[in-house]
């Protein structure tokens, strides 16, 4: 059974836009079938976090915790291990890792061994608690996580490391998202549905692609990320992978775009 989730930062943006509480916003989104969040570790990483109460009372679950580290340079992975401990103690079964970009392509080679060693240590530690670890395809020209080739370099080298597939990020990386999901299918843990377009979208910041094109996020189904085909392809191969809505909208019509995207998703799976 697939669940539809959303990046918690969009919940915050919707609450601010509508001048409502996080709790009320979560309840509204749940009416549209959004039942989980992917959440930044700093938002929830303490017992006193009000977000934990809002999630509990609204019936929306935190199914994935994510954060960014400097895994290619820093041998200290103490924070990463503490996030694993938090997830194990709070029933969160998925961690998503992002890593800072390198300065040059030469650094991608120079620091490859350290990056793999750090990721391997985190995955091995998390396995003790039945917590899954995945990387998201993310970043630009000097990111170790950005392209199909670079993601494969890591998941083929590190046992049990998975992929949280982001359709829009692959378009930004100059890759065909549909081809990417087919190649990476055996490693998928979750799917971030982010639809990017080459046409300017008001309220969406422009992000240049690796191959020099201007890209913008848009409502699901209106862009160039082949969302319909990706959903279909994943559903052919898995019946238990969750989909998560993501955007880059900063100011305009956040809630409307979230709700329209949720409606599009449920139309496609039915």
pLDDT over 90 at 64, yes or no: yes
Whether residue 249 is predicted with pLDDT greater than 90 in this model: the reply is no
> Across the chain, what does the average pLDDT equal?
94
Per-residue confidence (pLDDT) for residue 252, from 0 to 100 = 67
Residue 68: is its pLDDT beyond 70? yes
Most confident listed range (49-58, 71-80, 122-131)? 122-131
pLDDT value, residue 250 = 65
Task: Write out pLDDT tens, residues 148-184.
Answer: 999 999 999 999 999 999 999 999 999 999 999 999 9
SS3 string of the chain? CCCEEEEHHHHHHHHHHHCCCHHHHHHHHHHCCEEEEEEEHHHHCCCCCHHHHHHHHHCCEEEEEEEEECCCCCCCCHHHHHHHHHHHHHCCCEEEEEECCCCCHHHHHHCHHHHHHHHHHHHHHHHCCCCEEEEECCCCCCCCCCCHHHHHHHHCCCCCEEEEEEHHHHHHCCCCHHHHHHHHHHHEEEEEECEEECCCCCCCCCEECCCCCEEEEECCCCCCCCHHHHHHHHHHHCCCCEEEECCCCCCCCHHHHHHHHHHHHHHHHC
Domain carrying residue 139 = 4-269
For residues 133-150, one letter each, b for 16 or more C-beta atoms within 10 angstroms of the residue's C-beta and e for the rest, the string is: bbbbbbbebbbbbbbbeb
CATH of the domain at 134: 3.20.20.150
Confidence at residue 47, expressed as pLDDT on a 0 to 100 scale? 66
Percent of the chain having pLDDT more than 70? 97
Could you report the per-residue pLDDT of 199-218, keeping only the tens digit for each? 998 878 899 999 999 999 99
At 269 the pLDDT is 75
Quick one: pLDDT at residue 96? 98
Choice between 222 and 1, residue whose per-residue pLDDT is larger: 222
Number of domains in the chain: 1
pLDDT of residue 87: 96
- What are 208's strand-pairing partners? 214
Q: What is the pLDDT of residues 224-248, one digit of tens each?
A: 999 999 999 999 999 999 999 999 8
User: Is residue 46 pLDDT above 80, yes or no?
Assistant: no
Mean pLDDT within 25-40: 97
Q: What is the mean pLDDT of residues 177-202?
A: 96
Look at residue 53 and tell me whether its pLDDT is greater than 70: yes
- For the stretch 75-115, pLDDT in tens is 889 999 999 999 999 999 999 999 999 999 999 999 999 99
């Amino acid at each position: 059974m697939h669940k539809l989730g959303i990046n918690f930062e969009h919940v915050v943006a919707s609450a601010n836009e509508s001048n409502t509480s996080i709790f009320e916003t979560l309840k509204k989104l749940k009416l549209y079938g959004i039942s989980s969040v992917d959440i930044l570790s700093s938002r929830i990483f303490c017992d006193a976090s009000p977000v934990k109460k809002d999630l509990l009372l609204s019936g929306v679950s935190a199914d994935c915790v994510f954060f960014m580290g400097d895994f290619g340079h820093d041998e200290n992975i103490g924070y990463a291990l503490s996030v694993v401990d938090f997830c194990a103690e709070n029933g969160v079964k998925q961690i998503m890792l992002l890593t800072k970009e390198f300065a040059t392509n030469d650094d991608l080679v120079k620091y490859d061994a350290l990056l793999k060693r750090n990721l391997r240590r985190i995955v091995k530690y998390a396995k003790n608690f039945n917590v899954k670890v995945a990387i998201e395809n993310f970043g630009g020209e000097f990111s170790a996580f950005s392209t199909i080739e670079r993601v494969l370099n890591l998941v083929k080298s590190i046992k049990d490391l998975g992929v949280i597939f982001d359709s829009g990020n692959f378009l930004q990386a100059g890759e065909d998202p549909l081809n990417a999901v087919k190649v990476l299918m055996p490693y998928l843990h979750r799917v971030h549905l982010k639809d990017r377009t080459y046409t300017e979208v008001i309220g969406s910041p422009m992000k240049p692609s690796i191959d020099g094109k201007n890209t913008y996020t848009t409502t699901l189904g209106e862009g160039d990320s082949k969302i319909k085909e990706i959903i279909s392809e994943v559903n052919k191969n898995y019946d238990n992978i969750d989909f998560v809505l993501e955007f880059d909208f900063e100011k305009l019509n956040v809630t409307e775009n979230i709700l329209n995207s949720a409606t599009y998703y449920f139309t496609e799976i039915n």
